[in-house]
């Protein structure tokens, strides 16, 4: 199976989230925030919190507040 082409800010589906590895998911997060990505086991409903309390959503490909 061919790997999907992953780009920063690309929204994904819950099914894709389940299929991708932590390394692949990290590629979707802007570089400035990658250090805060805790791994998908620590993401709730496809998002994780940053140090300032905002949340990055893989399903939106952006911050939850935006």
pLDDT at 4: 63
User: Maximum CA pair distance of the chain?
Assistant: 38
Q: What confidence tens digit (pLDDT) does each residue in 20-42 have? A: 999 999 999 999 999 999 999 99
Confidence at residue 3, expressed as pLDDT on a 0 to 100 scale: 57
Predicted TM-score of the model (pTM): 0.87
Looking at residue 65, what is its pLDDT?
Answer: 81
Rounding to the nearest 10 degrees, give the CA dihedral for residues 50, 47, 8, 13. Answer: 180
Point out the least confidently predicted range of 4-8, 11-15, 32-36. Answer: 4-8
């Amino acid at each position: 199976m061919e790997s999907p082409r992953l780009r920063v800010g690309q929204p994904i589906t819950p099914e894709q989230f389940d299929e991708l590895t932590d390394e692949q998911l990290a590629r979707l997060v802007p570089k400035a925030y990658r250090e805060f990505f805790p791994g998908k086991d620590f993401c709730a409903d496809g998002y994780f919190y940053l140090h300032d309390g905002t949340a990055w959503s893989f399903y939106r490909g952006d911050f939850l507040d935006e």
